[in-house]
Amino acid sequence: MLLRHTPSEIKERKALTINPAKTCQPIGAMYAALGIHGCLPHSHGSQGCCAYHRSTLTRHYKEPIMAATSSFTEGASVFGGQANLLQAINNMFTVYAPEVIAIHTTCLSETIGDDINQIIRKAYDDGKVPEGKHVIHCNTPSYVGSHVTGYANMVAGMVKYFSESTGRYRDQINIIPGWVEPSDMREIKRIAKEMGVKAVLFPDTSDVLDAPQRGKHMFYPEGGVTIPDLKSTGDSKLTIALGPFGTESAAALLDSKCKVKYELLDLPIGISATDRFISGLSRAACVEVPTSITAERGRAVDIITDMQQYFYNKKVALFGDPDQLTALTEFLVDLEMKPIHIISGTPGKQFEPRIRNILKDKVPNANVRNGANADLFLLHQLIKNEPVDLLIGNTYGKYIARDEDIPFVRMGFPIMDRIGHSYFPTVGYAGVMRLLEIMLSALLDRQDRDAPEESFELVM
Protein backbone atom coordinates (compact mmCIF):
# COMPACT_ATOMS: atom_id res chain seq x y z
CA MET A 1 0.00 0.00 0.00
CA LEU A 2 1.34 3.32 -1.03
CA LEU A 3 0.26 5.04 2.16
CA ARG A 4 1.41 2.25 4.44
CA HIS A 5 3.27 4.93 6.32
CA THR A 6 0.09 6.45 7.76
CA PRO A 7 -0.46 5.34 11.36
CA SER A 8 -4.06 5.46 12.57
CA GLU A 9 -3.14 6.99 15.88
CA ILE A 10 -3.38 10.77 15.58
CA LYS A 11 -0.67 12.70 17.34
CA GLU A 12 -0.51 16.47 17.35
CA ARG A 13 2.35 17.44 15.07
CA LYS A 14 4.64 20.26 16.08
CA ALA A 15 5.96 21.37 12.79
CA LEU A 16 5.38 19.50 9.67
CA THR A 17 3.11 19.19 6.69
CA ILE A 18 2.73 15.78 5.06
CA ASN A 19 0.91 15.51 1.75
CA PRO A 20 -0.43 19.06 1.66
CA ALA A 21 -4.01 20.08 0.96
CA LYS A 22 -2.83 23.39 -0.46
CA THR A 23 -0.01 24.91 -2.41
CA CYS A 24 1.62 28.33 -2.47
CA GLN A 25 0.26 31.76 -3.37
CA PRO A 26 1.99 32.52 -6.69
CA ILE A 27 0.22 29.82 -8.69
CA GLY A 28 -3.14 31.33 -7.71
CA ALA A 29 -2.00 34.74 -8.90
CA MET A 30 -0.83 33.20 -12.16
CA TYR A 31 -4.17 31.46 -12.67
CA ALA A 32 -6.16 34.62 -11.98
CA ALA A 33 -3.96 36.68 -14.32
CA LEU A 34 -4.63 34.24 -17.15
CA GLY A 35 -8.25 35.38 -16.84
CA ILE A 36 -7.40 38.81 -18.29
CA HIS A 37 -7.42 39.00 -22.07
CA GLY A 38 -3.97 39.49 -23.58
CA CYS A 39 -2.26 39.15 -20.23
CA LEU A 40 1.17 37.67 -19.67
CA PRO A 41 1.61 36.60 -16.04
CA HIS A 42 5.07 37.26 -14.69
CA SER A 43 6.72 35.50 -11.78
CA HIS A 44 9.21 37.69 -9.96
CA GLY A 45 11.53 35.09 -8.50
CA SER A 46 13.64 32.08 -9.39
CA GLN A 47 13.03 30.24 -12.63
CA GLY A 48 11.75 27.14 -10.89
CA CYS A 49 8.65 28.81 -9.44
CA CYS A 50 7.40 29.78 -12.87
CA ALA A 51 8.27 26.37 -14.32
CA TYR A 52 6.46 24.54 -11.53
CA HIS A 53 3.35 26.69 -11.78
CA ARG A 54 3.21 26.31 -15.53
CA SER A 55 3.70 22.56 -15.28
CA THR A 56 1.04 22.17 -12.60
CA LEU A 57 -1.48 24.31 -14.47
CA THR A 58 -0.64 22.40 -17.64
CA ARG A 59 -1.25 19.07 -15.93
CA HIS A 60 -4.61 20.31 -14.68
CA TYR A 61 -5.87 22.07 -17.81
CA LYS A 62 -3.93 20.20 -20.50
CA GLU A 63 -3.29 23.56 -22.12
CA PRO A 64 -0.07 25.47 -22.84
CA ILE A 65 0.43 28.00 -20.05
CA MET A 66 2.32 31.14 -20.97
CA ALA A 67 4.08 33.00 -18.19
CA ALA A 68 7.45 34.66 -17.83
CA THR A 69 9.97 34.84 -15.02
CA SER A 70 12.54 37.29 -13.69
CA SER A 71 15.04 34.41 -13.60
CA PHE A 72 16.65 35.39 -10.33
CA THR A 73 20.32 34.72 -9.95
CA GLU A 74 22.52 34.95 -6.90
CA GLY A 75 23.33 38.54 -7.81
CA ALA A 76 19.69 39.55 -7.96
CA SER A 77 19.14 37.96 -4.58
CA VAL A 78 21.87 40.06 -3.07
CA PHE A 79 21.34 43.36 -4.86
CA GLY A 80 17.59 43.16 -5.37
CA GLY A 81 15.53 42.16 -8.35
CA GLN A 82 14.92 45.61 -9.83
CA ALA A 83 17.32 45.23 -12.74
CA ASN A 84 15.87 41.83 -13.63
CA LEU A 85 12.30 43.06 -13.47
CA LEU A 86 12.96 46.15 -15.57
CA GLN A 87 14.73 44.06 -18.19
CA ALA A 88 11.93 41.52 -18.04
CA ILE A 89 9.22 44.15 -18.60
CA ASN A 90 11.13 45.53 -21.54
CA ASN A 91 11.67 42.08 -23.04
CA MET A 92 8.10 40.96 -22.57
CA PHE A 93 6.63 43.99 -24.31
CA THR A 94 9.19 43.69 -27.10
CA VAL A 95 8.86 39.99 -27.74
CA TYR A 96 5.45 38.85 -26.56
CA ALA A 97 3.49 42.10 -26.98
CA PRO A 98 0.98 41.57 -24.18
CA GLU A 99 -1.80 44.07 -23.39
CA VAL A 100 -0.95 43.74 -19.75
CA ILE A 101 1.80 42.20 -17.67
CA ALA A 102 0.58 40.88 -14.32
CA ILE A 103 3.48 40.52 -11.90
CA HIS A 104 3.30 38.42 -8.79
CA THR A 105 6.06 38.04 -6.25
CA THR A 106 7.54 34.92 -4.64
CA CYS A 107 8.99 34.05 -1.26
CA LEU A 108 12.40 35.05 -2.56
CA SER A 109 11.60 38.52 -3.86
CA GLU A 110 9.35 39.21 -0.87
CA THR A 111 12.07 38.31 1.60
CA ILE A 112 14.74 40.40 -0.06
CA GLY A 113 12.20 43.22 -0.03
CA ASP A 114 11.75 44.28 -3.64
CA ASP A 115 9.33 47.20 -3.88
CA ILE A 116 7.27 46.28 -6.91
CA ASN A 117 5.24 49.52 -6.88
CA GLN A 118 8.41 51.52 -7.20
CA ILE A 119 9.90 49.26 -9.89
CA ILE A 120 6.72 49.50 -11.97
CA ARG A 121 6.79 53.29 -11.63
CA LYS A 122 10.37 53.29 -12.82
CA ALA A 123 9.44 51.09 -15.78
CA TYR A 124 6.83 53.70 -16.82
CA ASP A 125 9.27 56.57 -16.19
CA ASP A 126 11.96 54.88 -18.25
CA GLY A 127 9.54 54.42 -21.13
CA LYS A 128 9.61 50.63 -20.94
CA VAL A 129 5.82 50.37 -21.03
CA PRO A 130 4.43 51.12 -24.48
CA GLU A 131 1.55 53.58 -24.83
CA GLY A 132 -1.77 52.02 -23.91
CA LYS A 133 -0.21 48.94 -22.30
CA HIS A 134 -0.33 48.07 -18.63
CA VAL A 135 1.71 46.58 -15.83
CA ILE A 136 -0.11 45.43 -12.70
CA HIS A 137 1.06 43.47 -9.69
CA CYS A 138 0.18 41.83 -6.42
CA ASN A 139 2.25 40.54 -3.54
CA THR A 140 2.13 36.81 -3.05
CA PRO A 141 4.63 35.72 -0.39
CA SER A 142 4.53 31.93 -0.48
CA TYR A 143 4.85 31.64 3.28
CA VAL A 144 1.49 33.33 3.89
CA GLY A 145 -1.91 31.83 3.10
CA SER A 146 -2.20 29.44 0.17
CA HIS A 147 -2.84 29.33 -3.56
CA VAL A 148 -6.35 30.66 -2.82
CA THR A 149 -4.84 33.73 -1.14
CA GLY A 150 -2.70 34.30 -4.22
CA TYR A 151 -5.75 34.15 -6.43
CA ALA A 152 -7.57 36.63 -4.20
CA ASN A 153 -4.58 38.96 -4.19
CA MET A 154 -4.30 39.06 -7.96
CA VAL A 155 -8.05 39.69 -8.32
CA ALA A 156 -7.71 42.58 -5.87
CA GLY A 157 -4.74 43.77 -7.96
CA MET A 158 -7.05 43.99 -10.97
CA VAL A 159 -9.34 46.29 -9.02
CA LYS A 160 -6.46 48.33 -7.68
CA TYR A 161 -4.99 48.98 -11.10
CA PHE A 162 -8.01 49.06 -13.40
CA SER A 163 -11.34 49.82 -11.75
CA GLU A 164 -12.29 53.44 -12.38
CA SER A 165 -15.18 55.45 -11.11
CA THR A 166 -16.05 57.93 -13.86
CA GLY A 167 -19.29 59.02 -12.29
CA ARG A 168 -21.14 57.60 -15.25
CA TYR A 169 -23.69 55.06 -14.15
CA ARG A 170 -23.61 51.71 -15.89
CA ASP A 171 -26.45 49.28 -15.80
CA GLN A 172 -24.21 46.30 -15.16
CA ILE A 173 -23.29 43.94 -12.36
CA ASN A 174 -19.76 42.83 -11.48
CA ILE A 175 -19.41 39.17 -10.74
CA ILE A 176 -16.20 37.97 -9.13
CA PRO A 177 -15.91 34.21 -9.07
CA GLY A 178 -13.68 32.50 -6.54
CA TRP A 179 -11.12 30.04 -7.88
CA VAL A 180 -13.31 27.93 -10.15
CA GLU A 181 -12.78 26.24 -13.48
CA PRO A 182 -13.16 27.84 -16.94
CA SER A 183 -16.30 25.74 -17.32
CA ASP A 184 -17.73 27.36 -14.19
CA MET A 185 -16.92 30.85 -15.38
CA ARG A 186 -18.57 30.08 -18.70
CA GLU A 187 -21.63 28.79 -16.84
CA ILE A 188 -21.88 31.88 -14.63
CA LYS A 189 -21.80 34.07 -17.74
CA ARG A 190 -24.43 31.91 -19.39
CA ILE A 191 -26.71 32.20 -16.37
CA ALA A 192 -26.34 35.98 -16.30
CA LYS A 193 -27.10 36.19 -20.00
CA GLU A 194 -30.06 33.86 -19.65
CA MET A 195 -31.41 36.17 -16.97
CA GLY A 196 -30.86 39.21 -19.14
CA VAL A 197 -28.25 40.67 -16.79
CA LYS A 198 -25.34 42.57 -18.22
CA ALA A 199 -22.43 41.31 -16.17
CA VAL A 200 -18.68 41.83 -16.09
CA LEU A 201 -17.08 38.64 -14.87
CA PHE A 202 -13.51 38.91 -13.67
CA PRO A 203 -11.26 37.08 -13.88
CA ASP A 204 -12.57 34.93 -16.69
CA THR A 205 -10.50 31.95 -17.80
CA SER A 206 -13.09 30.52 -20.18
CA ASP A 207 -11.79 30.45 -23.76
CA VAL A 208 -8.31 30.74 -22.26
CA LEU A 209 -7.79 27.44 -20.47
CA ASP A 210 -10.38 25.43 -22.37
CA ALA A 211 -9.29 26.66 -25.78
CA PRO A 212 -10.27 24.75 -28.91
CA GLN A 213 -7.81 22.83 -31.09
CA ARG A 214 -7.10 25.18 -33.96
CA GLY A 215 -3.89 23.82 -35.40
CA LYS A 216 -1.98 26.75 -34.03
CA HIS A 217 -0.79 28.08 -30.76
CA MET A 218 -2.73 31.11 -29.56
CA PHE A 219 -0.24 32.83 -27.29
CA TYR A 220 -3.12 34.96 -26.06
CA PRO A 221 -6.29 32.93 -26.47
CA GLU A 222 -9.61 34.59 -27.24
CA GLY A 223 -11.01 34.64 -23.72
CA GLY A 224 -10.31 36.72 -20.66
CA VAL A 225 -11.90 39.88 -19.32
CA THR A 226 -10.86 42.89 -21.39
CA ILE A 227 -9.18 46.00 -19.99
CA PRO A 228 -12.12 48.30 -20.88
CA ASP A 229 -14.48 45.93 -19.07
CA LEU A 230 -12.19 45.82 -16.05
CA LYS A 231 -12.05 49.62 -15.99
CA SER A 232 -15.82 49.81 -16.20
CA THR A 233 -16.26 47.76 -13.01
CA GLY A 234 -15.87 51.00 -11.05
CA ASP A 235 -19.16 52.28 -12.53
CA SER A 236 -21.21 49.12 -11.99
CA LYS A 237 -24.35 48.96 -9.87
CA LEU A 238 -23.17 46.23 -7.58
CA THR A 239 -20.58 43.51 -7.19
CA ILE A 240 -21.55 39.95 -6.48
CA ALA A 241 -18.59 38.20 -4.91
CA LEU A 242 -18.73 34.43 -4.94
CA GLY A 243 -16.72 32.86 -2.14
CA PRO A 244 -15.20 34.97 0.64
CA PHE A 245 -11.68 33.48 0.51
CA GLY A 246 -11.21 34.09 -3.19
CA THR A 247 -13.09 37.31 -3.71
CA GLU A 248 -13.89 39.41 -0.66
CA SER A 249 -10.69 41.43 -0.70
CA ALA A 250 -11.30 42.49 -4.30
CA ALA A 251 -14.96 43.27 -3.69
CA ALA A 252 -14.16 45.31 -0.59
CA LEU A 253 -11.46 47.22 -2.44
CA LEU A 254 -13.87 48.01 -5.24
CA ASP A 255 -16.29 49.32 -2.64
CA SER A 256 -13.73 51.55 -0.95
CA LYS A 257 -12.11 52.68 -4.19
CA CYS A 258 -15.14 53.24 -6.40
CA LYS A 259 -18.08 53.02 -3.99
CA VAL A 260 -19.51 49.97 -5.68
CA LYS A 261 -21.31 48.02 -2.97
CA TYR A 262 -20.96 44.29 -2.87
CA GLU A 263 -22.94 41.27 -1.90
CA LEU A 264 -20.84 38.39 -0.63
CA LEU A 265 -22.25 34.98 -1.47
CA ASP A 266 -20.98 31.44 -1.47
CA LEU A 267 -19.80 29.82 -4.64
CA PRO A 268 -23.00 28.69 -6.36
CA ILE A 269 -22.35 24.98 -5.83
CA GLY A 270 -25.42 22.99 -4.85
CA ILE A 271 -29.11 23.91 -4.86
CA SER A 272 -29.21 26.31 -1.90
CA ALA A 273 -26.11 28.30 -2.86
CA THR A 274 -27.26 28.50 -6.49
CA ASP A 275 -30.68 29.67 -5.32
CA ARG A 276 -29.01 32.47 -3.40
CA PHE A 277 -26.89 33.41 -6.39
CA ILE A 278 -29.85 33.49 -8.76
CA SER A 279 -31.98 35.55 -6.39
CA GLY A 280 -29.03 37.83 -5.63
CA LEU A 281 -28.53 38.42 -9.31
CA SER A 282 -32.22 38.93 -9.88
CA ARG A 283 -32.45 41.46 -7.04
CA ALA A 284 -29.30 43.31 -8.05
CA ALA A 285 -30.29 43.70 -11.67
CA CYS A 286 -34.03 44.05 -10.99
CA VAL A 287 -34.91 41.20 -13.34
CA GLU A 288 -37.33 38.35 -13.00
CA VAL A 289 -35.92 34.85 -12.88
CA PRO A 290 -36.79 33.45 -16.30
CA THR A 291 -38.71 30.22 -16.63
CA SER A 292 -35.74 28.63 -18.38
CA ILE A 293 -33.69 28.94 -15.19
CA THR A 294 -36.56 27.70 -13.05
CA ALA A 295 -36.82 24.72 -15.34
CA GLU A 296 -33.11 23.98 -14.92
CA ARG A 297 -33.60 24.05 -11.19
CA GLY A 298 -36.57 21.77 -11.55
CA ARG A 299 -34.56 19.22 -13.50
CA ALA A 300 -31.81 19.25 -10.89
CA VAL A 301 -34.33 18.77 -8.07
CA ASP A 302 -36.01 16.04 -10.08
CA ILE A 303 -32.78 14.02 -10.16
CA ILE A 304 -32.48 14.32 -6.41
CA THR A 305 -36.05 13.18 -5.85
CA ASP A 306 -35.46 10.20 -8.14
CA MET A 307 -32.27 9.11 -6.46
CA GLN A 308 -32.48 10.42 -2.89
CA GLN A 309 -32.25 7.01 -1.25
CA TYR A 310 -28.75 6.47 -2.58
CA PHE A 311 -27.47 9.62 -0.91
CA TYR A 312 -29.19 9.15 2.41
CA ASN A 313 -26.84 8.93 5.38
CA LYS A 314 -23.73 8.33 3.29
CA LYS A 315 -20.61 9.45 5.09
CA VAL A 316 -18.34 11.73 3.11
CA ALA A 317 -14.79 13.03 3.56
CA LEU A 318 -13.87 16.11 1.58
CA PHE A 319 -10.78 18.23 1.18
CA GLY A 320 -9.77 21.19 -0.91
CA ASP A 321 -10.27 24.93 -0.93
CA PRO A 322 -12.47 26.65 1.63
CA ASP A 323 -14.96 28.35 -0.70
CA GLN A 324 -15.68 25.09 -2.55
CA LEU A 325 -15.85 23.09 0.67
CA THR A 326 -18.33 25.48 2.28
CA ALA A 327 -20.78 25.32 -0.60
CA LEU A 328 -20.22 21.62 -1.11
CA THR A 329 -20.82 20.84 2.56
CA GLU A 330 -24.13 22.64 2.40
CA PHE A 331 -25.05 20.70 -0.73
CA LEU A 332 -24.18 17.37 0.86
CA VAL A 333 -26.26 18.21 3.89
CA ASP A 334 -29.13 19.15 1.55
CA LEU A 335 -28.82 15.66 0.11
CA GLU A 336 -28.98 14.21 3.64
CA MET A 337 -25.41 13.00 3.33
CA LYS A 338 -23.01 13.19 6.26
CA PRO A 339 -19.80 15.15 5.67
CA ILE A 340 -17.77 13.91 8.63
CA HIS A 341 -14.19 14.90 7.73
CA ILE A 342 -13.53 18.28 6.14
CA ILE A 343 -9.96 19.42 5.55
CA SER A 344 -8.43 22.48 3.92
CA GLY A 345 -4.79 23.50 3.98
CA THR A 346 -5.81 27.12 3.48
CA PRO A 347 -5.71 29.02 6.77
CA GLY A 348 -8.49 31.41 7.83
CA LYS A 349 -10.49 31.70 11.03
CA GLN A 350 -13.91 32.07 9.44
CA PHE A 351 -13.82 28.62 7.83
CA GLU A 352 -14.53 26.32 10.75
CA PRO A 353 -17.39 28.31 12.34
CA ARG A 354 -19.08 28.60 8.96
CA ILE A 355 -18.86 24.86 8.32
CA ARG A 356 -19.99 24.06 11.88
CA ASN A 357 -22.95 26.34 11.36
CA ILE A 358 -23.95 24.41 8.25
CA LEU A 359 -23.48 21.06 9.96
CA LYS A 360 -25.03 22.13 13.29
CA ASP A 361 -27.42 19.42 14.43
CA LYS A 362 -26.93 17.33 11.28
CA VAL A 363 -23.31 16.30 11.87
CA PRO A 364 -22.35 17.85 15.19
CA ASN A 365 -19.19 15.78 15.66
CA ALA A 366 -17.62 16.33 12.25
CA ASN A 367 -13.85 16.78 12.07
CA VAL A 368 -13.31 20.20 10.55
CA ARG A 369 -9.72 21.40 10.22
CA ASN A 370 -7.95 24.02 8.15
CA GLY A 371 -4.55 25.73 8.10
CA ALA A 372 -1.48 24.30 9.80
CA ASN A 373 -1.23 20.50 9.74
CA ALA A 374 -4.60 20.16 8.02
CA ASP A 375 -3.20 17.93 5.32
CA LEU A 376 -3.98 14.66 3.60
CA PHE A 377 -1.93 12.72 6.12
CA LEU A 378 -4.34 13.89 8.81
CA LEU A 379 -7.34 13.23 6.59
CA HIS A 380 -6.12 9.69 6.01
CA GLN A 381 -5.77 9.17 9.75
CA LEU A 382 -9.27 10.52 10.35
CA ILE A 383 -10.64 8.16 7.72
CA LYS A 384 -8.85 5.22 9.27
CA ASN A 385 -10.53 6.07 12.55
CA GLU A 386 -13.94 6.68 11.04
CA PRO A 387 -14.35 5.30 7.52
CA VAL A 388 -16.43 7.03 4.87
CA ASP A 389 -18.55 5.98 1.89
CA LEU A 390 -17.28 8.68 -0.44
CA LEU A 391 -14.19 10.83 -0.78
CA ILE A 392 -14.27 14.15 -2.64
CA GLY A 393 -11.14 16.11 -3.49
CA ASN A 394 -8.35 16.73 -5.97
CA THR A 395 -6.24 14.07 -7.66
CA TYR A 396 -4.08 13.51 -4.59
CA GLY A 397 -7.07 11.88 -2.95
CA LYS A 398 -6.56 8.84 -5.13
CA TYR A 399 -3.91 7.43 -2.80
CA ILE A 400 -6.31 7.38 0.14
CA ALA A 401 -9.18 6.18 -2.05
CA ARG A 402 -7.09 3.27 -3.26
CA ASP A 403 -5.62 2.26 0.07
CA GLU A 404 -8.92 2.47 1.92
CA ASP A 405 -11.01 1.33 -1.04
CA ILE A 406 -13.32 4.34 -1.04
CA PRO A 407 -15.38 5.61 -4.01
CA PHE A 408 -13.73 8.83 -5.12
CA VAL A 409 -15.04 11.94 -6.85
CA ARG A 410 -12.50 14.37 -8.20
CA MET A 411 -13.16 18.01 -7.52
CA GLY A 412 -10.77 20.87 -6.84
CA PHE A 413 -7.24 21.73 -7.88
CA PRO A 414 -5.23 20.06 -9.21
CA ILE A 415 -6.90 17.26 -11.16
CA MET A 416 -4.12 15.65 -13.16
CA ASP A 417 -5.52 12.26 -14.01
CA ARG A 418 -8.97 12.85 -15.44
CA ILE A 419 -10.64 15.28 -17.80
CA GLY A 420 -14.00 16.99 -17.51
CA HIS A 421 -13.41 19.73 -14.97
CA SER A 422 -12.46 22.21 -17.70
CA TYR A 423 -15.58 21.52 -19.71
CA PHE A 424 -18.42 20.62 -17.36
CA PRO A 425 -19.31 23.08 -14.62
CA THR A 426 -19.97 22.27 -10.98
CA VAL A 427 -21.64 25.66 -10.40
CA GLY A 428 -25.26 26.51 -11.08
CA TYR A 429 -28.06 24.01 -11.54
CA ALA A 430 -26.09 22.46 -14.39
CA GLY A 431 -23.31 21.94 -11.86
CA VAL A 432 -25.74 20.34 -9.45
CA MET A 433 -26.69 17.87 -12.14
CA ARG A 434 -23.07 17.08 -12.93
CA LEU A 435 -22.15 16.62 -9.27
CA LEU A 436 -25.16 14.38 -8.76
CA GLU A 437 -24.17 12.31 -11.75
CA ILE A 438 -20.54 11.80 -10.76
CA MET A 439 -21.33 11.15 -7.10
CA LEU A 440 -24.07 8.68 -7.99
CA SER A 441 -21.85 6.93 -10.51
CA ALA A 442 -19.13 6.52 -7.89
CA LEU A 443 -21.57 5.23 -5.26
CA LEU A 444 -23.57 2.96 -7.55
CA ASP A 445 -20.51 1.53 -9.32
CA ARG A 446 -19.30 0.56 -5.89
CA GLN A 447 -22.65 -0.95 -4.95
CA ASP A 448 -22.61 -2.99 -8.18
CA ARG A 449 -19.05 -4.11 -7.59
CA ASP A 450 -19.69 -5.28 -4.05
CA ALA A 451 -23.21 -6.62 -4.36
CA PRO A 452 -23.59 -10.36 -3.83
CA GLU A 453 -25.03 -12.12 -6.88
CA GLU A 454 -28.50 -12.48 -5.41
CA SER A 455 -28.88 -8.77 -4.75
CA PHE A 456 -27.05 -7.47 -7.82
CA GLU A 457 -29.63 -5.05 -9.17
CA LEU A 458 -30.52 -4.27 -12.75
CA VAL A 459 -32.71 -1.30 -12.02
CA MET A 460 -31.37 1.31 -9.64
Nearest-CA neighbor of 80 among 106, 109, 104, 47?
109
Nearest-CA neighbor of 274 among 330, 221, 351, 318?
330
How many Cβ atoms are within 10 Å of 365's Cβ, its own excluded?
A: 7
Residue whose CB is less far from other proteins, 40 or 327: 40
Nearest approach in angstroms of CB 54 to other proteins is 6
Residue whose CB is less far from other proteins, 68 or 433: 68
Nearest approach in angstroms of CB 445 to other proteins is 24
Nearest approach in angstroms of CB 86 to other proteins is 9
Nearest approach in angstroms of CB 249 to other proteins is 17
Regarding 381 and contact with other proteins (CB under 8 A), the answer is no
Nearest approach in angstroms of CB 119 to other proteins is 12
Nearest approach in angstroms of CB 411 to other proteins is 18
Q: Using CA atoms, how far apart are residues 116 and 81, in angstroms rounded to an integer? A: 9
Which residue in the set 10, 79, 97, 130 belongs to the binding site for other proteins (CB under 8 A)? Answer: 97
Instruction: Identify residues 328-367 at the interface with other proteins (CB under 8 A).
Output: 345
Instruction: Identify residues 153-212 at the interface with other proteins (CB under 8 A).
Output: 211
How many Cβ atoms are within 10 Å of 115's Cβ, its own excluded?
A: 11
What's the length of the chain?
A: 460
Residue whose CB is less far from other proteins, 142 or 274: 142
Q: Three-state SS for 173?
A: strand
Nearest approach in angstroms of CB 339 to other proteins is 24
For residue 460, what are the contacts with CB-CB under 8 A and spacing of at least 6? Answer: 310, 444, 447
Regarding 420 and contact with other proteins (CB under 8 A), the answer is no
Residue whose CB is less far from other proteins, 89 or 159: 89
| Sign of the dihedral through C-alpha 98, 155, 435, 274 | negative
Q: Three-state SS for 189?
A: helix
Q: Is residue 40 within a helix (H) or strand (E), and if so which, with residue range?
A: strand 39-44
Regarding 308 and contact with other proteins (CB under 8 A), the answer is no
Instruction: Identify residues 238-257 at the interface with other proteins (CB under 8 A).
Output: none
Instruction: Identify residues 390-419 at the interface with other proteins (CB under 8 A).
Output: 396
Which residue in the set 38, 96, 352, 362 belongs to the binding site for other proteins (CB under 8 A)? Answer: 96
Q: DSSP letters of 74-123? A: HHHHHH-SHHHHHHHHHHHHHHT--SEEEEEE-HHHHHHT--HHHHHHHH
Nearest approach in angstroms of CB 75 to other proteins is 9
Instruction: Identify residues 20-49 at the interface with other proteins (CB under 8 A).
Output: 20, 22-27, 40, 42, 45-49
Tell how strand 199-201 and strand 173-177 pair up.
parallel
Q: Is residue 263 within a helix (H) or strand (E), and if so which, with residue range?
A: strand 262-265
Instruction: Identify residues 121-150 at the interface with other proteins (CB under 8 A).
Output: 141-144, 146
Residue whose CB is less far from other proteins, 243 or 345: 345
